[in-house]
Amino acid sequence: MVARADFETSDGAGGADVRFTGRLTLARLGDLPARLDALGPIASLDLSAVERVDTVGAWIVTRTAREHGSQITGASEEAKRLLDALASDKSDYRVHRDRRSAIHRMLEQVGIASTAVWNELLGIIGFFGAMLMALGTQLRARRRLRWHAIVTRFQTVGVDALPIIGLMTFLIGIVVAQQGAVQLRQFGLEVFTINLVGRASIRELGLLMTAIMVAGRSGSAFAAQIGTMKLTEEIDAMRTIGVSPMEAIVLPRVAAATILMPLLGFYASICAIIGGGVFCWIGLEIPPLTYIQLLRDIIPMTDFWAMLIKAPVFGVLIGVTGCYEGMQVRQNAEEVGQRTTSAVVAAIFLVIVLDAFFAVFFSSIGWN
């Protein structure tokens, strides 16, 4: 077993003689620095019994010797090299405890986080404005529209996402139907499970879950791809040869997400309705034909239009957020991962906030 850092003391002329034992390494120090500080005058520091010492351990020995005017003895060659390197450093690196109250520290963290979120939001809005300017430039010169790049993104954003979105929303439809039936059975109203599944799938669940999946799948891919291109200086090379990265990289991705979100949202809603229908058929013994007929009477067209209005907005939001975070990569590969995570978190957060706004807006105009 690796010995933890410790010391023994004995009375000496002019103060205590301290003899260290074990390993003076960061992982094995424990409370040794605090116990050293609690001692009185220290005359000497003996390192002859130390098994190993690292930079942190050598710094503690050097600091203690400097404070008490102690003599260091018994140091190995490795320890001597570290002690000599630290001997010329006269800075005081003592760590002082943060004595502010917990409420003060909490408010500080909330303020820092709020400022970061606000700056991020301003950055996304500015990036969206730059994208609109690039779009206007392309619309004025139709020959510059990159339809091939947009169609290529259809494969990654839409077609490849169909299996996971379909499976996920199908299972969610089953869960919603099962939970709704359990609650409605108490009142003998199991048939209204169809109302719950139909309206929730078309108006909210299908599109919202699709947006979350696209943000996690395609938004993160946008951020990672563009971030990697920033690190390999492909973006700078494009600007050098006169190609606008906004037109060549950002617009095709945002356009693909915007065009495909209504289609994916409708597909997800149908899969959720099918999942609810399977449960109603097996669990509630409602025939599929009856299920479909009741859905036609239950779901108003306003729910369908509400979904079609929200879907492109969510697509733009996801595409812009993913591309913006990718463009913010500056230093190293680790930042690519951080920006990819930020893209997913920011996109999902903004989608949910906008969905709440749309819910209030549609309710206020009578689309209940």
Give me the residues paired with residue 46 across strands.
Answer: 19, 73
Ranges of each domain in the chain: 6-87, 118-364
Question: What is d(CA 367, CA 320) in angstroms, rounded to the nearest whole number?
Answer: 29
How much is the pLDDT for 175? 93
| CA 7/CA 133 separation, integer angstroms | 69
Q: Report the C-alpha gap between 150 and 303 in whole angstroms.
A: 29
- Please count the other Cβ atoms lying within 10 Å of the Cβ belonging to residue 266: 18
Q: Could you give the maximum distance between any two Cα atoms of the chain, in Å?
A: 100
Report helix angle 102-140 to 301-327, nearest 10.
100
As a whole number of angstroms, the distance between CA 274 and CA 294 comes to 14
Class of domain 6-87: alpha beta
Distance CA 327, CA 197 (A): 40
Alpha carbon separation from 227 to 220, 223, 238, 352 (Å, rounded): 10, 6, 14, 25
Residue showing tokens 């408010």: 107
What pLDDT is recorded for position 90? Answer: 56
Element (H, E) at 331: none
Spell out the per-residue pLDDT of the chain, length 368, in tens: 557 888 888 887 777 888 888 888 888 888 888 888 888 788 888 888 888 888 888 888 888 888 888 888 888 888 888 888 877 665 555 555 667 788 888 898 899 989 988 998 999 999 999 999 888 888 887 666 677 888 888 888 888 899 999 999 999 999 999 999 988 888 888 888 888 898 889 988 889 999 999 999 899 999 999 999 988 888 888 888 888 888 889 999 999 999 999 999 999 999 999 999 999 999 888 888 989 888 888 888 888 899 999 999 999 999 999 999 999 888 778 888 889 999 999 999 999 999 999 989 988 888 87
Q: Would you tell me the crossing angle of helices 206-214 and 333-364 to the nearest 10 degrees?
A: 160
What is the number of alpha carbons within 13 Å of residue 263 lying toward its C-beta? 11
43 SS3 class: strand
Q: Give residue 367's pLDDT.
A: 82
Nearest to 306 by CA among 348, 225, 243, 360: 360
Q: Are strands 71-73 and 42-53 parallel, antiparallel or unpaired?
A: parallel
Q: What confidence score (pLDDT) does residue 49 get?
A: 84
Q: Which amino acid is at 163?
A: P
Six-digit token pair at 238? 């494009």
Return d(Cα 334, Cα 357) in angstroms, integer.
35
Beta-strand relationship, 15-24 and 71-73: unpaired
How far apart CA 231 and CA 324 sit, in angstroms, is 15
Cα-based distances in Å from 312 to 151, 218, 320 = 17, 15, 12
Q: Which residues pair with 73 in a beta bridge?
A: 46
CA distance 309 to 365: 14
To the nearest 10 degrees (0 to 180), the angle between helices 220-231 and 333-364 is 150
Amino acid (1-letter code) at residue 304: F
Q: What is the pTM of this model?
A: 0.70
